[in-house]
Amino acid sequence: MNIARYISRRMDGADSGSFTHSVTRIATVSIALGIAVMIVSFSILHGFREQIQNKIFSFGAHLQLSRYDTNNSLEVAPISEPVLRRQLARYPQVASVQAFARKTAIIKTTDEVLGVVLKGVSETHGPSAMRANIVAGSFIHYADSAASNDIVISQKIADKLRLKVGSPALFYFIQQPPRVRKFRVSGIYQTGLDEFDEVYVLGDLRQIQELNAWPDSLVGAWRCACATLRSSTTPSTSFTSSCPTRCASKKRPTSMRSSSTGFSC
C-alpha cells in the first residue's frame, strides 16, 4: 500500500467543516498562489532581459569587426569595405552587416560645451536598428550625393545642451588641421543605457570619411547581426574560426568583439 496516497486521500476526503479540510484547502491555495507569483516574476524578468538585449544590440549589434589595434582609442584605423563585406556574405551565421565609424568631437552651444563621440552610420545595406529608439523627430535623412548634416542626439545630451529637434549644433574636431562642422538635430533617441546616452551622437558615415580623408571604400568597422543567439561565455567557435582575420588593405588582422557578454551568434 502506498502510504502517501492513503494519507492524501484521507485528508482530501475529510468533512468540509473539519479542521483538516480547511488546512488542506489553505495549503493548496497558498501553493497555487506561490507558483503563480513565480511564473509572473520570471516572465517579467525575461521581458526586461529581452528589452535590454534589444537596446544593446540595436546600438552595437551582436558582433563588431574592426582592425586589431593595441590602442584603446575609439578612433581606429580603417578597413576595406568591399573586401570584408564579400567575405562576410559567405557565412550563414551573419544575417546582416552595416558599416560605421567613430570620431571624438566637442559640441559647443551658446551656453554649454560637451565632449561626445560622433558615430557615423550608413543605411546603404538596410535601415538602422536605432530607428526603434527615436523618441522625437526623425532619423537621419541621407542624401544621394553629399553627406547629410543631420544628427540624432540622445535625450540626455539634448537636456544638457538645451537642444531640440531642428536646433543647429557646432562640432569641433581636434585633428590636424582642426575642423568645424555645423549639424542640425533631426531626431532624439533614448535607450535608457547611460553608456550610450551620455556619449554617442549619430551622424552620416560620409561625414567621418570626409573628415578623415577616407575614400568611400574605407570604413571604421562593421556591425554584424547574427541569425540566432544562444547562451555562451565566448563568441561562437565555428563563426570565429570561419570569420576572415585579415583585411586586404595592408594585411593587418581584424578583431571581433561581442556586444553583450554572455551571448554569441
203: left (phi over 0), alpha (psi -120 to 50) or beta: beta
β-sheet bridge partners, residue 10:
none
Peptide bond just before 177 cis, omega within 30 deg? yes
Q: Model-level pTM greater than 0.75?
A: no
**Cell numbers representing residue 93 in the block:** 551565421
In this prediction, residue 158 carries a pLDDT of 93
Residue 197, CA distances (Å) to 156, 158, 200, 254 in order: 6, 10, 6, 27
Number of residues assigned to the chain: 265
Question: Scanning the structure block, which residue is given the C-alpha cell 543647429?
Answer: 168
Mark 143-153 as b/e (b = at least 16 C-beta within 10 Å): eeeebbbbbbb
pLDDT tens for the chain, residues 1 to 265: 577 777 666 666 655 666 666 777 788 889 899 999 999 988 888 877 777 777 777 777 777 777 777 777 777 788 877 777 777 777 777 777 788 889 999 998 888 899 999 999 888 777 777 888 889 999 999 888 888 999 999 999 999 999 999 999 999 998 888 899 999 999 999 888 888 889 999 999 999 999 998 988 888 887 877 776 654 434 445 455 555 544 434 444 445 444 443 333 3
The alpha-carbon radius of gyration of the chain (Å, integer) is 27
Please tell me the distance from the alpha carbon of residue 208 to that of residue 120, in angstroms, as a whole number.
Answer: 6
